[in-house]
Chain A
Amino acid sequence: MGVLRTLIIKEIRQFRRNPFMPKLVVMFPLMLILVMPWIATMDVKGINVGIADYDRSDISQKIVSRIDASEYLELKGMFADYPSALAELEDGKIDLILEIPAGFGKSMMGTPEKVSIWANGVNAMKGSLGSQYLMQTLLKCFQDIRASRGLSIPESTIETVNFYNPTMDYKHYMIPAIIIMLLVMVGGFLPAINLVMEKELGTIEQINVSPVNRFAFTLSKLIPFWIICLIDLGICMVLAWLVYGLDVAGSIWAILLAAALFIMVISSIGVILANLSETMQQTMFLMLFIILTFILMSGLYTPVESMPLWAQKLAFCLPPTYMVELMRAVYLKGATISDLWINYVALGGFAVLFGVLAAITYKKRG
């Protein structure tokens, strides 16, 4: 215990004397939580629509005014024909083309004339979300037209209830994920950099020749960053509440417990990488790869359910997958530890596994 204390005091002294680190660990969460939610929002608003109306009937007029009134869609222009609209789309001025064929208004109830949506698929997300919005708008419009003719099953028999995120604010959905991103970056990079620096400067040699136990040394690299990450977590949670009005629906302790386990996992991974590499370059490249994989595969950015099956299986081998699900459930839905016990067990398991690996990969004797 005495040795561990000595080593941790050393880390804290070095940290405080470093001209960058203390500023970094405060500025980084500030920047991330203040800027990132605005960027990471994926409710695509302001999708530009161009309409090629060959029909020019009452019905096509209704469709046009309906689109014009939509919150998500922006009517950018009416075109005489499809080719002139396509030219605009290629220029990037519009994202979607709605083509209403001649005679659609008359035939709507009987013959199979169809309206067409042409979406620019270059940006897959914008294309698919945009055409979905347009589709929804059209469906509502058609239903209204039908209902006005007394032909439709009333929509009023279906009621939609929205739990948990009543304002449907995408920022709220992303904030727990952004906090996880922060933990991954701070908790992963800093211990790795710290350890590789000791290797490159040769100071680790002096430790290797001392009787320090490998677990004590590994812990002395993990614990300071564990504390830093928890402080960063606190900064983020307070800011999320002050700036975005996002309160934790569940218990704060549930989040702290999960974060404590998760940081241990991430920092251990950083230490393992540093143990296995020889230079800063290697460590950084590997760490970036792992962080990118974590961010993109864990459901933080796109839903895990949308991935192909093999990728889903892979995602369930990654610790952040459990953390992302957990954070969102506790933060937004008020889930309890007993609701999510599987996630806690998984994170705990990963923490032990990677912690031990971190100690084992540290080789005192080459």
Chain B
Amino acid sequence: MISVNNLTKMFGDFKAVDGISFDVAKGEIFGFLGANGAGKTTAIRILCGLSKATSGSGHVAGCDIITQSEDIKRNIGYMCQKFSLYEDLTVWENMELYGGIYGMKTKDVHLRAEQLLKEVDFYEHRNDLVKSIPTGWRQKLAFTVANIHSPKVIFLDEPTGGVDPLTRRQFWSMIRKTAAEGTTVFVTTHYMDEAEYCDRVSIMVDGKIMALDTPAALIEKFGVSSMDEVFRNLARNAVRNE
């Protein structure tokens, strides 16, 4: 579903992303880990067509990331670090908006929105303004909105930042459910306990991918007891500090 080959992004002399390569299969939950400043967000922005790669190649949902960035957008959902639903619209109106943007028929949008909201028990609050909804819920709703058009791939950039543990767990069960339906989920995080929910993880340090495997395999390879320790082993050698 996603395949990337030797992707590099330069900002002046600074290599934010330094020749990364990986493949993600359909229905996989792919964890994209790294310390702050390791280049995760830059990489995800390239994959979503928000930013242009300096060199390298890649495909997302069968479209070339260099030349077909607008086609990619049709097939992906994206939820960014910063909360970005419209606060002065209701939940329902946000869903209508994004459904419409992806060219869905109004009837289909309503059906899909009803189904998704009922799954998370939010259907009766659908006419609340987003600004009146607590943070934990907003995060879940943002995910729902990113999923409204049944995309092939969903990109989540630090979706659980600032969310309490209980909500995080609920959030991850939503992710797994979505993946079970065949959607590929590409998620960045720096909570290492979350990494263990992923099918496979990559760990990025200083713009390079230093490790890529299932969490269990990585723990075994480094001879430690948790992902946290794997990460600390790798991050110790980082040059960039932030």
Contact = CB atoms under 8 A, between A and B. Distances in A.
Output the residue of B48, B83, B84, B105 with the most chain A CB within 10 A. Answer: B84
A6 B84 contact: no
B83 to A, nearest CB: 8
Contacts of B98: 206, 210
B88 A18 contact: yes
Output the residue of A209, A364, A365 with the most chain B CB within 10 A. Answer: A209
A56 interface: no
A7 interface: yes
A6 B101 contact: yes
A193 to B, nearest CB: 14
Nearest to A19: B88
Contact of B101 (A3, A205, A364, A366): A3
Contact of B89 (A5, A10, A205): A10
A17 interface: yes
A212 interface: yes
Interface residues of A, number: 25
Interface string B85-97: 1111100010011
B240 to A, nearest CB: 21
A212 B82 CA distance: 20
B86 A10 contact: yes
A10 B84 contact: no
A203 B101 contact: no
Interface stretch (B23-31, B67-75, B167-175, B229-237): B67-75
Contact of A206 (B51, B52, B78, B88): B78
B163 to A, nearest CB: 18
B144 to A, nearest CB: 13
B103 interface: yes
Nearest to A18: B88
B89 A365 contact: no
A12 to B, nearest CB: 11
A212 B101 contact: yes
A212 B73 CA distance: 9
B69 A365 contact: yes
A202 interface: yes
A203 B84 contact: yes
Given A202-B82, A205-B50, A211 B89 contact: no
A317 interface: no
B219 interface: no
A203 B85 contact: yes
A132 interface: no
A6 B93 CA distance: 10
Given A3-B103, A10-B86, A14-B89, A211 B74 contact: yes
A365 B84 contact: no
A366 B100 contact: no
A3 B105 CA distance: 10
A166 interface: no
Contact of A209 (B71, B76, B103, B105): B76
Contacts of B50: 205, 208-209, 364-366
B197 interface: no
B207 interface: no
A13 interface: yes
Contacts of A209: 48-50, 73, 76, 78, 80, 155
A341 B155 CA distance: 53
A296 interface: no
B49 A365 contact: yes
Contacts of A7: 97, 100-101
Contacts of B73: 209-211
A201 interface: yes
Contacts of B83: 202
A248 B85 CA distance: 46
A207 interface: yes
Contacts of A202: 80, 82-84
A205 B80 contact: yes
B102 interface: yes
Given A6-B96, A13-B89, A211-B73, A205 B102 contact: no
A210 B80 contact: no
A299 B74 CA distance: 49
A112 interface: no
Those 3 A-B pairs whose CB atoms lie nearest each other, nearest first? A6-B100, A209-B78, A211-B73
6 contacts: A6-B100, A7-B97, A7-B100, A14-B88, A17-B88, A365-B52
Interface of B: 45, 48-52, 69-71, 73-74, 76, 78, 80, 82-89, 93, 96-103, 105, 129, 155
